[in-house]
A and B are shown apart, each in its own frame.
Chain A
Amino acid sequence: MSDETKPAPEAGSSGVDAERAAKVAAAKAKAAREAAGESPATAEPAPADADKSVDAEKEAKIAAAKAKAAAAKAAREAADEGGETPKPAPAKAPAKAAAKAPAKKEAAPAYAEITGDAFIAALRAVFRDDIKEAVTSNGQQIVRVVPERARDLLWYLRYDAAIRFDLLTDVTAAHYPDRKAFEVVYQLYSIADNRRLRVKAELPEDQSIYTVCDIWTTANWLEREVYDMFGITFEGHPDLRRILLPEGWVGFPLRKEYPVEYRHNEWVTENLNILEIPEGADLTGKFD
């Protein structure tokens, strides 16, 4: 009976099958426990219990909400009589407004130097002049590093630093043609400390940067995409080829000089079997 449900077990894999059967049994037991309402492994509240308490709580909450709404309405009416525009009184709003007020001012600089952060100070002590600056923008910390040491810094942040940034959230880049450079951007996150850090390396257009594939596996595809879109070469990458665009595509679309509306006629005729392109068709127009 059990064999019928299994996808063609190979000869000599009976050990694997036995293991599988044991796992199935364990999972079934788990599922049964859950169904019975005993503390399930993956969820804190058993659904049945949660419902009862929710129902009981709901009544109270609805009553509270109604009272709140009535109070708000009364307040609004009073305000209307006074000739003022109604304004809801959210619990969080005043604090939020106060916190965000400085950001709105014109004078606030886009990037502010980080001072008094022990972790950043420790990083500076280790990497000295290789860290060009450590700044914040919109309250988020950014460390600029020379591209030659970017990999060392990232290795250090993953394995040796006081706060271990174990999750590489993203790798991307931005193109700055006026500086003839790219900025390669690494977004890091530390699960244990719930902290984010952005590492940026300014890379001259004709230089390459070393891969971080062996530090985080996720960098494999992310660096391929950066290569695909910007043409940045990652030295030591095991499989650096285009990922979103087809092989043989000419140019790197996210470079600023690449036009937004553009068709590579040769490629199209060759690969899409469109044999005729109207004479004088202008395919390099701009939107604005």
Chain B
Amino acid sequence: MNAIPLVTHHTETLFDSEQMVLSMGPQHPSTHGVLRVILKLDGERVIDLDCDIGYLHRGAEKIFENRLYPMIAPYFDRLDYIAAVSNGLLYVETVEKAMGLEIPPRAQYLRVILTELNRLASHLLWLATHALDIGGFTVFLYAFREREEILKIFENFFGARLTCHAFRIGGMTYDAYPEFEAQVRAFCDLFPKRLEEYETLLNENRIWLGRTVGIGVISAEDAISLGLTGAPLRGSGVDYDVRKTDPYECYADLEFDIPIGENGDTFDRYLVRMEEMRQSRRIIMQALDRLPDGPVMGRVPKVIRVPAGEVYHSIEAPKGELGLYLVSDGSTKPYRLRMRPASFINLAALRKMTVGSLVSDVVAVIGSLDIVLGEIDR
């Protein structure tokens, strides 16, 4: 990759030049946060591209090394703030795995329900903003309507809409509130009809198809080499989902399918995520049916001390494989806690996907990668 100078200017002279360096972002609605994309353009055509990230860097991994284990958990909600529940799950599961803790079954099922609801919320936000970027304003409003229902459930459960936090090392802080099951069921009953509404708006939409079909194509081979995970990898036809390959919580007991794309373009990634939403709903319904009684907190020592050693644990977050690598020296703080950021690695594919296409396609592809900058920059 050739380094592009981080200066925005016309190359050489203004009028004779054929190439232009254009800075898109960091304050740009289509970059989904503080992402700056530096484009080298020949007219409308992208010749080269570089991403400038780190605007949201808070040194999370450094902070982790200086915090006690229970104190670290809330930081994870602020990484991928669109899917705070998934991030929280990753952290507590990693520590539980390293300590060999056992989680009560009720807590496992509740965790799965909440995580899948969060996947729906995250995918709805993706759909809304992706459609908005490409010009589908109606879908934006519709998807936010359903996301609001999920956020209401979250607000009742967690007391927060965005930085949801109820998972503790060993289980959950509190049990579900009385109307939780009824509210989730009501949402699940409504949701398939709403999904059909979105599809009515998009699947036959000439502009939508023109902007997504054959755009940002990535082959399965390239996708694997680029380390893509989540919908971008499955859209290229690779069957890889951590919930199936390495089941955590109670996913092994639940039935669901992993949708796979064919062409690896923006449209297939869209289809994969739409089907994932249906499957998430299926998981939630099953988990609700089987929700066992019992405590939600297991036996946990008063002082959390992880035995010396190391562990890598990963979950299927809405954005892709979210991994956590914990090295412990046996003390009350992690020696090293490294997060494998799914968005960060997926964003690295942007260059491969867009060089040679038009500027407007860059917007479509950023949308279809479904990145969140809080997780990229950490």
Chain A positions near chain B (C-beta within 8 angstroms): 2, 5-8, 10, 19-20, 23-24, 26-28, 31-32, 34-35, 41-45, 47, 50-51, 54, 58, 61-62, 64-65, 68-69, 72-73, 76, 86-88, 90-93, 96-97, 100-101, 103-104, 108, 110-111, 137-138, 140, 142, 166-170, 172, 174-175, 185, 187, 191, 194, 196, 198, 216-218, 220-222, 225, 229, 238-239, 241-247, 253-254, 258, 260, 286-288
Contacts and interface: CB of A to CB of B under 8 A. Distances in A.
A43 B259 contact: yes
Contacts, number: 211
Contacts of B57: 244-245
B375 interface: no
A27 B227 CA distance: 27
Given A28-B204, A137-B310, A43 B278 contact: yes
Nearest to B135: A5
Contacts of A65: 289-291
Given A138-B309, A217-B222, A221-B348, A239 B210 contact: no
Q: How many of chain B's residues touch chain A, expressed as a range?
A: 35 or more
B206 to A, nearest CB: 6
B225 A24 contact: no
Nearest to A237: B1
Given A47-B192, A104-B100, A187 B61 contact: no
Contact of B225 (A64, A169, A218): A218
A6 B210 contact: yes
Contacts of B348: 217-218, 220-221
26 contacts: A10-B44, A42-B259, A42-B275, A43-B278, A68-B292, A88-B294, A88-B295, A90-B105, A93-B105, A97-B102, A101-B100, A108-B307, A140-B311, A167-B240, A169-B227, A169-B323, A170-B312, A174-B335, A174-B336, A174-B338, A187-B340, A217-B352, A218-B225, A220-B1, A221-B348, A222-B227
B59 A253 contact: yes
B155 interface: no
Contacts of A72: 292-294
A240 B268 CA distance: 33
